[in-house]
Structure 1
């Protein structure tokens, strides 16, 4: 009996003929790739200790002790006390003296002192944007007052208006009779400002000894006569390189360029080699408490192909998207951050993975003291691929602790996430995963060479799934070296 081609076509759904079913190995590799993308997004969103602009102490240190009754009885002493507070940059004293000064007859008041005192008080209260506005108004009235200009420059620096701060510091620097100590401090500040806009380079190298590169299941017997892949091991290096530059404009605006790459090279299992490069250029705004950056980006990935590949890196996928990064300092101890990203992904051969991804991460850092910090966050990741069994939603939480001991520093990061896929796949089940992660790092602050500090890290990841193919755990002990220059 013969069946024509037309008859055969009628026996199979069009969707089956459109693309051949994937094997368990292909499913495993596809999901491993998706997991790597999620891991990289979360790693990039991990917060660091709050960074604060350090303004060198360039104010003279003097004290004036007066009682309230003396201030009320002697207006001349009140004015002298206020001037002393202004000259020494003492916002606390200025906040006590200004209300009394404002009660004096108008003909005994200097209008600029009002603005100057309010600017100093605002700076003392960390209200830097308001402080800058008031300092500028005062300086417009008295452009020849060098100490006022110096404090204006310091307020601009605190508010991260680097371009304007540099201009004011250079004007102060041009004074003919500037005290030698001030001149040295201003040089230090100008050098600090210059560093903010120079090209920044960073690098990280990690030795890899991975006994389960392919995320093979703990039990290779999948049931129903199916068997999963055996775990493959590999030794090599993970290399991350980055460069960025900011161009500062007026009122806290800036442009930023970034170029980042990360790669894994296994010298004894080159089929799993991979590399990724992202270029982004965007615009941002920052002041003392807030920072926001919008970065359109293009990303290119290369992959040797995994189990069915060879040892040559080939173009694998590209992504086009936009990222949003924002931070807010609630207090000297508390800082929050938001990272959001949306991208369109295109794969060269694995068309079933084409689609888009969305990622949002909220983080917080609590700096308990100079030696201890706690941080945590929540992450949401959505992957919309062509096929439902490659599309998922993931939500996760994480917490960490950073501690400086006597000579040693340690960092602990824990994470937990739930990943739910949209539809059934090869095993006629809709995949549901539970993911646990622990990472512990230790390093000695006195052990470094040429700015390189080695860090020993142990990590453990465990994935439980309702599908045996995707159940695995992995332990790694590795040495990493970081450098910024």
Structure 2
């Protein structure tokens, strides 16, 4: 907890007032410095759009079969269901053609589950089909069924035309890359005018008594380096089931204000289901945090993440986290040990490859031992990503409210905060070295509190980040 010494202007009750003021001077440090490790919108995990490769031998239903073949190869998906319904009524219809056409139709509708069902049925009826099996392997790859996709593609590799073999190798390499270790590095130059998140008010007014803050309780400047490194790995167990492991280390080093140096280590081991257009994960984790040099706090919890891509340019993602907070210092623990629940829901819209937007709502429920320090927070985010030639920019605005649950022990009424945040990032595609991309960033935060002498504050910082995803 960031505290300063406050000197009283009035001599009466100085000792008691100073003890209470030191107790109220600020909130505990919250460690939430995980760098962004994903792109603004997740791209599709696809190498190439597959095309139908099967033509059925004609039989005595030649006219209707030809119409179905033509509808598949010319991608006339609107007429295909009616043709197939008529075709199934024939007493001697070709089940292979029937399942293949339905599989192609469902794939065109981006319904990978039903497409896979019909491809399996077709290959069960005729296991000797080579090119439809290649299509099947490609669809399994898109549906993140890497283990089965690898088996299927290797099964047909030697029988394919030489022109398709490089495509198969591309799929196999991508399958290996998707399940390989994924490391990342992040460096950020930080310059802030309020490293201790303090109110700029130099005095405190409590029931008509005025106190002057010690300079150490006022906003302090700091310069330093924020850093992060980590690695994660996802392995396809079977079908769409994955295990996920992640180890993240991050912190900030201020060379001119070392008492506010931070470090965090988080270990995550969980389970995920991934599909062509959606995924969800359950990720238990443990985290240890340091402030200055001693251990400061420890978190244990579980996160849930879910995302769904609908149509080609809309994406809906959700996340929720429940964690338990434990502080090392006895006094801090007696007030701030407790449970925290947070959630967010974001809708992203890609207008084009150069312009994307999103809107998000979120909340945070903090329940700690001291009821006056327990709170509920609600927030709204608006953001956009825009590309002009080789320049890229990302901008985010956040507004929120944070009411507390019980009356403040010094003022006799509940604390209420309004929060405003603005974030901007700018970078050029050609300004990089071996995959390290520098970005110029600006962050502004303002908190308006109904107890302004303690909790109203603002900060602004320019910083440069250097990121690399391996």
Separation in 2 of the partners of 1:157 and 1:180? 21
Question: Which of 237, 257, 263 is the equivalent residue of 2:245?
Answer: 257
Q: CA deviation at 1:82?
A: 3.9
Q: Does 1:327 align with 2:327?
A: no
- Change in Cα spacing, 1:443 to 1:242, as seen in structure 2 (3 Å) is same
TM-superposed CA distance for 1:271, in Å, is 0.5
**In 2: Cα distance, 1:269 partner to 1:358 partner:** 32
The residue that corresponds to 1:356 in the other structure is 339
Aligned mates of 2:196, 2:391 — CA distance in 1: 34
Task: Tell me the alpha carbon deviations over residues 364-404 of structure 1, each in whole angstroms, 9 at most, x when there is no partner.
Answer: 11111111110111111011111123211111111100011
**What secondary structure sits across from 2:76 in the alignment?**
helix
Change (3 A) 1:252 1:483: same
Map residues 200-349 of structure 1 onto 2, 5 A cutoff: 200-223=182-205, 224-228=209-213, 229-304=217-292, 313-349=293-329
* 2:145 is aligned with 1:161: yes
| Kept after mapping to 2: 8 A contact 1:24/1:469 | no
Provide the secondary structure at the position in 2 that maps to 1:93. Answer: coil
Look up the SS of the partner of 1:232 in the other structure.
Answer: coil
Question: 1:325·1:339 contact (CA, 8 Å) conserved in 2?
Answer: yes
Contact 1:56/1:189 (8 A) holds in 2: no
Number of residue-to-residue matches in the alignment: 440
| Counterpart among 436, 439, 455 of residue 470 in structure 1 | 455
Distance in 1 between residues matched to 2:194 and 2:101, nearest whole Å: 65
CA distance in 2, matches of 1:457, 1:236: 15
1:353–1:447 CA distance, 2 compared to 1 (3 A): same
Quote the Cα distance in structure 2 between the aligned partners of 1:101 and 1:267.
72
User: Shift in Å at residue 108 of structure 1?
Assistant: 5.7
Residues 290 and 328 in structure 1, CA contact (< 8 A), matched pair in contact too: yes
Contact kept, 8 Å, 2:52 with 2:135, in 1: the verdict is no
1:225 offset after TM fit, Å? 2.0
CA gap of 1:25–1:44, structure 2 versus 1, over 3 A, is farther
Q: TM-score, normalised by structure 2?
A: 0.87
**What's the counterpart of residue 48 of structure 1?**
40
Query: 1:197–1:290: structure 2 CA closer, same or farther, 3 Å change rule?
Result: same
Q: State yes or no: 1:199 paired with 2:184.
A: no
Does the CA-based 8 Å contact 1:22-1:426 persist in structure 2?
Answer: no
The residue aligned with 1:79 is 65
1:53: how far off?
2.0
Tell me the residue number matched to 1:381.
364
> Which string of whole-angstrom CA distances, capped at 9 and with x for unpartnered residues, describes residues 38-93 of structure 1?
xx58x779983142121324548999xxxxxxx9xx9536534644665x5x5x23
Deviation at 1:427, TM superposition (A): 3.9
Give structure 2 stretches of 5+ with no counterpart.
1-16
Mapped to 1, the partners of 2:54 and 2:239 lie a distance apart of 33
Q: How big is each residue's C-alpha offset from its partner over 1:249-281, in whole Å with a ceiling of 9 and x where there is no partner?
A: 222011101111220111111100111111111
Q: Contact (CA 8 Å) 2:322, 2:340: kept in 1 or not? A: yes
TM-score norm. by structure 1 comes to 0.85
Distance 2:397 2:39 in 1: 14
Task: Measure, in 1, the Cα distance between the counterparts of 2:269 and 2:336.
Answer: 27
1:401 equivalent in alignment to 2:398: no
Which residue matches 1:93?
A: 76
Question: What is the match of residue 308 of structure 1?
Answer: none
Contact 1:28–1:215 (Cα < 8 Å) also in 2: no
1:458 aligns with 2:450: no
Q: Which has the higher helix share?
A: 1
Describe the SS at the equivalent of 1:249: strand
Do the aligned partners of 1:437 and 1:461 also contact (CA within 8 Å) in 2?
A: yes
Q: 1:150 aligns to what?
A: 134
Structure 1 pair 185–294 and aligned structure 2 pair: CA distance change class (3 A): same
Taking the aligned partners of 2:19 and 2:128, their CA distance within structure 1 comes to: 77
Aligned: 1:480 with 2:437: no
TM superposition shift of 1:358 = 0.7
Query: Matches of residues 165-180 of structure 1 in structure 2 within 5 Å?
Result: 165-175=149-159, 178-180=160-162
Q: Counterpart of 1:113? A: 97
Cα-Cα RMSD: 2.7
Deviation at 1:190? 1.0
User: What is the deviation of 1:283?
Assistant: 0.8
